[in-house]
Structure 1
Amino acid sequence: MEIRAVIIDDEPLSRQELLHLLKVHSDIMVIGEAPSAEKGMEMVLTEEPDVLFLDIEMTGMNGVELAEALQKMKKPPAIIFATAYPDYAVKAFRVEAVDYLLKPFDETQLEQAIRRLKLRIQPKEVKLPSAGRLAVQSEDRIIYLEPGELLYVYREGRDTFLVSEKGTYPTKSSLKDLENKLKPFSFFRVHKGYLVNIKKVEELVSWSTNVFELKVRNSDKLIPVSRNYVKDLREALEL
């Protein structure tokens, strides 16, 4: 299970230290860093991380205030506070934080926090309808799509779309929900805004060391591939 994380801390050295410690945890992918709670909120809305490693004392909005604001979301990310101040533990409990790490960071304490995190966010089995299909609204009709006929799924702003050879259909499901639902059907996240059907991939194109795109069958669309996902994608494609 891959866990997508964002580190929010106004101290660059603290972010670097935590990033270094997290590298030994191969299932934790740090997808971004933010120097303030405000920037962190923007990243939550655009990146949909699973967990935030969140400092408390920051200029402007503090970490507890950010955590309280996130509780209003339908599916907020998990919170692990990472701070030099022990006085906020009660408030951390009130916002249902997974754990409360004190600086300087202790590797054993971090391991325990990640263990608790996995227990917290372990996805419950998601069942598709008995027919194994996805229902989408198209004008005055409801269309049922088999997962296997989808080419890719993408997010544009706050909207999500399913793409098949027959057309493109909007859906109310989030990209994260669809990632969980479609994983058994060979779908793979290749970018923060794209899931692809591995069985439909025809080409993986390398434009430079860090720039990749792929093509799927019967589509001219070049789908961006984040360098964070290239290694796992190549393995999934058996390259």
Structure 2
Amino acid sequence: MIKVGLVDDQVYDLEKLQLILGKQEDVEIVFATTKSEEAYELLKKDEIDLLVSDIEMPSLSGYELADFINTYGLDVKVIFVTGYSAYAVHAFELDVLDYILKPYSKERLIKGIGRFEQKQTEVTSSEKLMLKQQSEIHMINKKDIVFIERTGRSTTIVTLAQELETYQSLVQLEKQLNKQYFIRSHKGFIINVQYIKNFTIYSKHSYLVHFQQTNKTAMITKANLETYQQQFY
């Protein structure tokens, strides 16, 4: 499911986006607003995968929203839907996924959404995980990740050979991992099911996860353990 945010200061254009995307089974519209400053505040919550935005708007432009996404490393792609062709070159400097000119057809908008899906497939099928740190970017083998833990504002990735810390959230990292092997076991953990050795009771609603390649443990909720058993056994 693609979680989408929509912003266009023209009511008609916003309703057109809602009408088309609201009928797509693989799309969930998280917010739709005519106010770019409201979209800015909603972006901070890091709840969407894709922002579909006009460019020329009062208060904040679509460019400024895209620049905010890039500056703060949010894992959100952007599609511009605009009546002006002159901005295209600068838009792609901001790594915008697509640039759609008004008036557009339903098919043209759906094609843009398809580009997002293709991009996500490429990311999850890659054998490497791009790990962003303050001054460095590491490329690590996904198959070597045992589990990932979020504590406070930092995230620790435990691999077969080392531990690495990053400011990226579990939501951002989860999007890059294959759901065939990685599951969100707990609000603070992602685990690689290939390394699970056994589970022990931790509390009424959770278990400790023990792994084959490390003495460190992760957590899994009772509900997620039941889902894991149904999915893999």
TM-score, normalization by structure 2: 0.59
Q: Report the alpha carbon displacement of residue 39 of structure 1 after superposing the two structures with TM.
A: 1.8
Deviation digits for residues 12-71 of structure 1, max 9, x if unmatched? 322221011113322222111233332222222203321110111111111112212322
Q: Report the alpha carbon displacement of residue 97 of structure 1 after superposing the two structures with TM.
A: 1.4
Task: Say whether residues 1:120 and 2:119 are aligned partners.
Answer: yes
In structure 1, the residue matched to 2:36 is: 37
Kindly indicate whether the alpha-carbon contact (under 8 Å) linking 1:128 and 1:134 is maintained by their aligned counterparts in 2: no
Kindly indicate whether the alpha-carbon contact (under 8 Å) linking 2:8 and 2:54 is maintained by their aligned counterparts in 1: yes
Calculate percent identity across the aligned residue pairs. 25
For 1:66, what is the secondary structure of its paired residue?
helix
In structure 1, the residue matched to 2:209 is: none
Kindly indicate whether the alpha-carbon contact (under 8 Å) linking 1:5 and 1:30 is maintained by their aligned counterparts in 2: yes
Kindly indicate whether the alpha-carbon contact (under 8 Å) linking 1:81 and 1:100 is maintained by their aligned counterparts in 2: yes
Over 3 Å counting, the alpha-carbon distance change for 1:98 and 1:173 in structure 2 is closer
Over 3 Å counting, the alpha-carbon distance change for 1:62 and 1:135 in structure 2 is closer
Count of equivalent residues: 178
The correspondence for 1:174, drawn from 158, 161, 169, is 169
Deviation digits for residues 147-181 of structure 1, max 9, x if unmatched? xxxxxx9x99x6789xxxxxxxxx95513145444
For 2:48, what is the secondary structure of its paired residue?
coil
Task: Say whether residues 1:219 and 2:219 are aligned partners.
Answer: no
Over 3 Å counting, the alpha-carbon distance change for 1:195 and 1:26 in structure 2 is farther
Q: Distance in 2 between matches of 1:115 and 1:29?
A: 14
Q: Report the alpha carbon displacement of residue 133 of structure 1 after superposing the two structures with TM.
A: 3.0
Q: Structure 2 matches for 1:5-154, cutoff 5 A?
A: 5-122=4-121, 123-124=123-124, 125=126, 130=144, 133-134=146-147, 136=149
Q: Distance in 2 between matches of 1:10 and 1:41?
A: 13
Deviation digits for residues 95-141 of structure 1, max 9, x if unmatched? 121111222331121122122222233333466564x63255xxxxx
Give the residue type in structure 1 aligned to 2:171.
Answer: K
Over 3 Å counting, the alpha-carbon distance change for 1:109 and 1:28 in structure 2 is same
Over 3 Å counting, the alpha-carbon distance change for 1:55 and 1:114 in structure 2 is same
Give the residue type in structure 1 aligned to 2:115.
Answer: R
Q: Structure 1: which 5+ residue stretches go unaligned?
A: 137-152, 162-170, 198-216, 224-232
Kindly indicate whether the alpha-carbon contact (under 8 Å) linking 2:4 and 2:51 is maintained by their aligned counterparts in 1: yes
For 1:40, what is the secondary structure of its paired residue?
helix
Q: Structure 2: which 5+ residue stretches go unaligned?
A: 130-140, 157-165, 192-202, 207-220, 222-226
TM-score, normalization by structure 1: 0.58
Task: Say whether residues 1:184 and 2:159 are aligned partners.
Answer: no
Give the residue type in structure 1 aligned to 2:180.
Answer: P
Give the residue type in structure 1 aligned to 2:36.
Answer: A
Kindly indicate whether the alpha-carbon contact (under 8 Å) linking 2:81 and 2:99 is maintained by their aligned counterparts in 1: yes
Over 3 Å counting, the alpha-carbon distance change for 1:70 and 1:182 in structure 2 is same
Kindly indicate whether the alpha-carbon contact (under 8 Å) linking 1:6 and 1:33 is maintained by their aligned counterparts in 2: yes
In structure 2, the residue matched to 1:167 is: none
For 1:183, what is the secondary structure of its paired residue?
coil
Kindly indicate whether the alpha-carbon contact (under 8 Å) linking 2:147 and 2:190 is maintained by their aligned counterparts in 1: no
In structure 2, the residue matched to 1:149 is: none
Kindly indicate whether the alpha-carbon contact (under 8 Å) linking 2:36 and 2:60 is maintained by their aligned counterparts in 1: yes
